[in-house]
Amino acid sequence: MQKRVAEKTRKSRKARNVPFQERYDAFLERLIAARGEASLTQREVSTLMGRPHTFISKCESGERSVDVMELMQLAGIYKKPVTYFLR
């Protein structure tokens, strides 16, 4: 049972509390999908943002939170409206 819980919450360990877990997981899924649709690697996106190569990996895994300014930058890189990520 413990392993099952860990698998379910693994992606968004940084979600601030349980009521937002599902929404944060959905946000991360859209973040990953947008990068795929833009045909960019994590390293390419990190470079475009002027960040270390591990930046996007940590964001997509939930290890690191994405702030509003970073989200705006990612939306521009992925050519998506910010609202795409917040539905």
pLDDT at 20 over 90: no
pLDDT at 6 over 70: no
Whole-number average pLDDT of the chain: 86
pLDDT at 15 over 70: no
Percentage of residues of the chain with pLDDT beyond 70: 80
For range 64-76, the mean pLDDT: 96
- The DSSP secondary structure of 18-41, one letter per residue, reads GGGHHHHHHHHHHHHHHHHHTT--
Q: What pLDDT shows up at residue 19?
A: 81
Q: What pLDDT shows up at residue 75?
A: 98
- In angstroms, the CA 14 to CA 47 distance is 24
Cβ-count burial of 40 within 10 angstroms (0-12 exposed, 13-18 middle, 19+ buried)?
middle
pTM summary value: 0.78
